[in-house]
Amino acid sequence: MSKTVNQKAWWLVLPVFVMVAFNALIPLMTVVNYSVQESFGNNEFFWSGTVWFQQLLADDQIHESLLRQIVFTSIVLAIQVPLGLSIALCMPKKGPWVSVCLVLMALPLLVPWNVVGSMWNIMALPDIGLLGKGINALGIPFNYTRQPMAAWFTVILMDVWHWTSLVVLLCYAGLVSIPDAYYQAAKVDGAKPWAVFRYIQLPKLKHVLTIAILLRFMDSFMIYTEVIVLTGGGPGSTTKFLSIDLVQKALGGFDLGPAAALSIVYFLIILLMSWLFYTLMMRNEAN
């Protein structure tokens, strides 16, 4: 068999190559470039080696926002995954209510992120907001612009409202794909509802849940828009997450070098955690 040589084919690959280059490769390389240089006006750059990275690792402010980020992501995952799974289990499997439920569930996902922020900003206002005024009316002092706890509560509530639906939809899709015969077989065996969940539904949902947790981990670890609109990182810097810190460095201070170094570390943290989680979840499959 002789191979047909067709050099023209390169031209057909070119558009995709250009797109990927402008989308991912060039910006990423620019960031890498910034992270090892000191920049001045007039496009003057000087090699600075790993200075920014060393500075970054010793920066208390970044340690704090990283810690806040980890706490936030853990809380959000601990709420959204079990809650999403239970809602999916309660949803009807067939009938006219299926589409109603699905549309209701999809709604929060369709709202633009900055709108979500404004919505909850107004909603949690202590004087006019439904949530803020309601809590105050119960006799609990609540002002998210002053109290760190109230701010955290609002931010978490907002994220749960916005993203639990994603977990629900993924789990629901996984649940309806379990053949009816499994439930029937369990019934014939006389298995209790808990056993059906533990030994049929949960194992069958393993892959879907892995994906849901991964997506929610990555997204919540990068949260920016909603929080900046809602609290702006305050009160003080109590809700200042890693991405907010990054933007303040890059745009506020125009410290391109440190911001680029932080971007790369940020990216590596997410990559590492996702890889670790995925490998742990899938290790049984391999052997």
Q: Which residues bind another protein (CB under 8 A)?
A: 179, 181-182, 184-185, 187-191, 195, 199-200, 203-204
Helix (H) and strand (E) counts for the chain?
14, 2
- Return the structure tokens found at 246: 């990054």
- Report the C-alpha gap between 93 and 88 in whole angstroms: 10
Structure tokens at 42: 């007039």
Which C-beta is closer to another protein: that of 127 or that of 285?
A: 285
Identity of the residue, 113 or 183, whose beta carbon is nearer to another protein in the bound complex: 183
Q: At what angle do helices 202-221 and 148-176 cross, to 10 degrees?
A: 140
**CB closer to another protein, 153 vs 199:** 199
Token couple for 22? 């402008």
CB 193 within 8 A of CB 187: no
Residue 282 Cβ vs another protein, minimum distance, rounded to whole Å: 13
Nearest-approach distance from CB 211 to another protein, in angstroms: 18
The distance of closest approach from Cβ of residue 201 to another protein in the complex, given in angstroms and rounded to an integer, is 10
Query: For the chain, how are helix, strand and coil distributed in percent, rounded to 5?
Result: 75, 5, 20
Q: How far apart are CA 257 and CA 56, in angstroms?
A: 10
Q: Show Cβ contacts of residue 280 under 8 Å, excluding neighbours closer than 6 positions.
A: none
Residue 187: CB minimum distance to another protein, A: 6
Question: Which pair of tokens denotes residue 287?
Answer: 């052997």
Judged by beta carbon, residue 113 or residue 182, the one nearer another protein is: 182
Rounded Cα distance between 72 and 217, Å, is 10
Give the nearest distance from C-beta 245 to another protein in angstroms: 42
The least CB distance from residue 51 to another protein, in Å, is: 51
Residue 207 CB neighbour total at 10 angstroms? 14
Question: Please, which residue, 74 or 184, has the CB nearer to another protein?
Answer: 184
Q: Which is nearer to another protein, 141 or 203 (CB)?
A: 203
